[in-house]
Amino acid sequence: MYTIAIDGPSGSGKTTTAKALARKLGWGYLDTGAMYRAVAVGCMEAGIYDPEGIAEYCRTMEVEISTDPDHPAIIVAGHDISEAIRAPETSAWVSKVSTNPECRINLVQRQKDIIASSNMVAEGRDITTVVAADAEVRILLTADAEARMSRRGAELGGKVDEAGLRDQVLRRDRDDSTLVNFTVAADGVVTINSTLMTLDEVVDQILSLAEHAGIPVQ
């Protein structure tokens, strides 16, 4: 099995890039952040706000996540919450999950199990250093703050104002960086700054790295 791991801050283009790579390679795609968001949605719906309760919900959560880049979906206890995890209120709340150490331990193991099941492009915040530290290709995808907020704003279709975007992008990065490092490349991780690059340019650069690592890309 082969793995391409992509780390980076919010709005750096991880999701779009990872999906494009998965399509080109015919691989699976794993959005690890969706799993944290799923816990957030479940806890908000159940009125669970304390760290111990969040950790317990995470441990017992029944979750299925699609690895099809064209049909991403996440199912919790039989309910499709694919839209709910992208809601602004989920984005504003998810750091309570992602900064919970017990949740991270539980979800990281689930993510490792999924990655081990097939060729996978996995993206998130601690993929290159924790979840898939032995991936054949490890990328830290970055972009400047203004570009990242612009991209996230486009994803949200203008539903969030500038203050909300700064909270979702910059504040979340600051909170999450208390537990994981996704701003400085670890040894063996290639940094790609996507600020002035097109999607095709980013994808082509990663495919070149994959080919150099011995991954069949044709």
pLDDT tens, 61-108? 999 999 999 998 999 988 999 999 988 889 888 989 989 999 999 999
Residue 148 included in any domain: yes
Domain of 189, in residue numbers: 3-212
Rounded to two decimals, the pTM is 0.85
Number of domains in the chain: 1
d(CA 167, CA 154): 15
Residue 46 included in any domain: yes
Residue 90 included in any domain: yes
CATH number of the domain residue 41 falls in: 3.40.50.300
- pLDDT above 90 coverage of the chain, percent: 63
**pLDDT grade for 23, boundaries at 50, 70 and 90:** very high
Helix (H) / strand (E) element for 206: namely helix 199-212
64 DSSP β-pair partners: 75
Residue 218 included in any domain: no
Q: Which residues contact 202 (CB under 8 A, 6 or more apart)?
A: 13, 17, 141, 192, 194
Residue 217 included in any domain: no
Residue 71 included in any domain: yes
pLDDT value of position 201: 96
Residue 172 included in any domain: yes
d(CA 30, CA 197): 23
- pLDDT above 70 coverage of the chain, percent: 83
